[in-house]
Amino acid sequence: MSVTAPKGFRAAGVAAGLKSSGAPDVALVVNDGPDATAAGVFTANRVKAAPVLWSQQVLRAGIVRAVVLNSGGANACTGPLGFQDTHATAEHAAATLSAANPRLLVGAGDVAVCSTGLIGERLPMEKLLPGVRSAVRGLSRDGGPAAAEAIMTTDTRPKTTVVAGAGWSVGGMAKGAGMLAPALATMLCVLTTDAVAGSEALDAALREACRLTFDRVDSDGCMSTNDTVLLLASGASGIEPTQQELTAAVTAAAHDLAQQLVADAEGATKQIAVEVVGAASEADAVEAGRSVARNNLVKTALFGNDPNWGRILAAVGTTAAAFEPDAIDVAVNGVWVCRGGAAAEDRAKVDLSGRDVAIRVNLHAGDAAATIWTNDLSHAYVHENSAYST
């Protein structure tokens, strides 16, 4: 049911012609309330797309009544005119929603905008604005799946989730299959809940959820210009969970979507969990895990079903994490191929025939741990990304 699983939300997904394929490319999520509290987390990239700059301003007030999302163009690196396009999109959505339902009283400043697709080209506004009108007409309580489909780019399948609370729930949708990297996997994500929650509670829940899920997905080390994760609360359940309950549910929803992103990453043949244990701090574990996850030689080796643990050690060695090189253990799919920084169990025992790969690195420097999720580097990744814009 995606973003419309919680009470108080309607959504739609329509084809506006932004994609040459004719596939759906404009999504709309509307919060009918009674509340309209919201929180957002955005890309750490300093080159931010126009919709990110816009939505950051919208979120400052902690109120979001609608989100317009389009695939088929990122509206990034498009200058002041690109920002005007985003502004016009929000204006148009607000006016159309208000006309359709005067009780809503939506202003442009209550409308977040998300875009995804090729960087550096203006959006065809003559197609996008009619698409927004069409989406408003198509809004429904079961429009969540259609919205999730309309935000896909190179994704092969839509990503949706529902997490049940006690009388309330969290719903969500996400897209993203490449440019998946730290400080948000390159992605758009809208989470909804019918819980009663202030924008500060939502912000705390969302930041913790992102820190533990999307921020630890590193498919190809490339950080996007458009990453946006929004959390909208309608309060329609009338139930106010504790901060802990809210954070747990939002984190579970984000985790589910993050795993779907890794599962569908561009050209991937492996879904790899790099778990670093025995670290002196969680930050050390994240740094070491990320270094392994980003290493092209580790990723190509796993594509070739080769448990090349020397490359894993070489990747850990580039970090500032606390460890002694001759105290590191490495297991690949449960086989401890490296102990004390040198060869241990026979690498031939490692079974890499399946899609899931579990790498475990023990730094023997403390009690902290973290897991980073990534993919292999395959011919299909090279193919897909060498042909994307042409």
Cβ distance to a copy of itself smaller for residue 98 or 385: 385
153 marked ligand binding residue: yes
**CA–CA distances in Å: residue 33 to residues 65, 118, 245, 357, 366:** 8, 34, 21, 43, 47
**DSSP class of residue 5?**
S
Task: Answer yes or no: 186 catalytic.
Answer: yes
149 marked ligand binding residue: no
Tell me the C-alpha distance between 141 and 310, whole Å. Answer: 53
Tell me the C-alpha distance between 198 and 3, whole Å. Answer: 19
Task: Say which residue the tokens 């594509």 belong to.
Answer: 303
116 marked ligand binding residue: no
Size of the site for a copy of itself (CB under 8 A): 68
Q: Measured from the CB of residue 203, what is the shortest distance to a copy of itself in angstroms?
A: 24
> For a copy of itself, which residue of 31, 55, 234, 295 counts as binding (CB under 8 A)?
295
Site string for a copy of itself, 211-230 (x = CB under 8 A): ---------xxxxxx-----
69 touches 27 (CB < 8 A): yes
3 touches 29 (CB < 8 A): yes
Distance between alpha carbon 240 and the CA centroid of its chain, in Å? 26
* Region near a copy of itself per CB under 8 A, out of 148-156, 238-246, 305-313, 364-372: 305-313
* 77: contact with a copy of itself by CB under 8 A: yes
Q: Measured from the CB of residue 16, what is the shortest distance to a copy of itself in angstroms?
A: 22
**DSSP class of residue 341?**
T
186 marked ligand binding residue: yes
| Sheet containing 329-332, strands listed edge to edge, beginning at the edge strand earlier in sequence | 342-343, 335-339, 329-332, 356-362, 271-279, 368-375
* 389: contact with a copy of itself by CB under 8 A: yes
Burial 203-233 (b: 16+ CB within 10 A, else e): bbbbbbbbebbbbbbbbbbebbbbbbbbbbb
Q: Measured from the CB of residue 119, what is the shortest distance to a copy of itself in angstroms?
A: 3
> For a copy of itself, which residue of 60, 349, 355, 383 counts as binding (CB under 8 A)?
383
Surface-to-core class of residue 23, CB atoms within 10 Å of its CB (0-12 exposed, 13-18 middle, 19+ buried): middle
Q: Measured from the CB of residue 382, what is the shortest distance to a copy of itself in angstroms?
A: 5
Q: Measured from the CB of residue 294, what is the shortest distance to a copy of itself in angstroms?
A: 8
390 marked ligand binding residue: yes
Cβ distance to a copy of itself smaller for residue 46 or 103: 46
Site string for a copy of itself, 226-265 (x = CB under 8 A): ----------------------------------------
> For a copy of itself, which residue of 54, 214, 303, 373 counts as binding (CB under 8 A)?
303
Which two three-digit tokens encode residue 240?
Answer: 């106010």
> For a copy of itself, which residue of 211, 310, 364, 366 counts as binding (CB under 8 A)?
310
Residues 173-202, interacting with a copy of itself (CB under 8 A): 178-179
Active-site option among 37, 96, 186, 319: 186
> For a copy of itself, which residue of 61, 105, 118, 166 counts as binding (CB under 8 A)?
118
**CA–CA distances in Å: residue 289 to residues 133, 261, 301:** 45, 18, 17
* 76: contact with a copy of itself by CB under 8 A: yes
Which two three-digit tokens encode residue 133?
Answer: 């009108």
Tell me the C-alpha distance between 184 and 180, whole Å. Answer: 7
How many other CB atoms are found less than 10 A from the CB of residue 63? 17
> For a copy of itself, which residue of 20, 242, 353, 386 counts as binding (CB under 8 A)?
386
Cβ distance to a copy of itself smaller for residue 44 or 100: 44
| Sheet containing 228-233, strands listed edge to edge, beginning at the edge strand earlier in sequence | 37-42, 228-233, 188-193, 169-175, 159-164
Q: Which residues are annotated as a binding site?
A: 153, 175, 186, 266, 385, 390
Q: Which residues bind a copy of itself (CB under 8 A)?
A: 44-48, 74, 76-82, 118-122, 178-179, 220-225, 294-297, 300-301, 303-306, 308-311, 313-319, 323, 325-326, 328, 338, 340-343, 377-379, 381-383, 385-390
Q: Which residues are annotated as a binding site for substrate?
A: 153, 175, 186, 266, 385, 390
Write out the catalytic residue numbers.
186
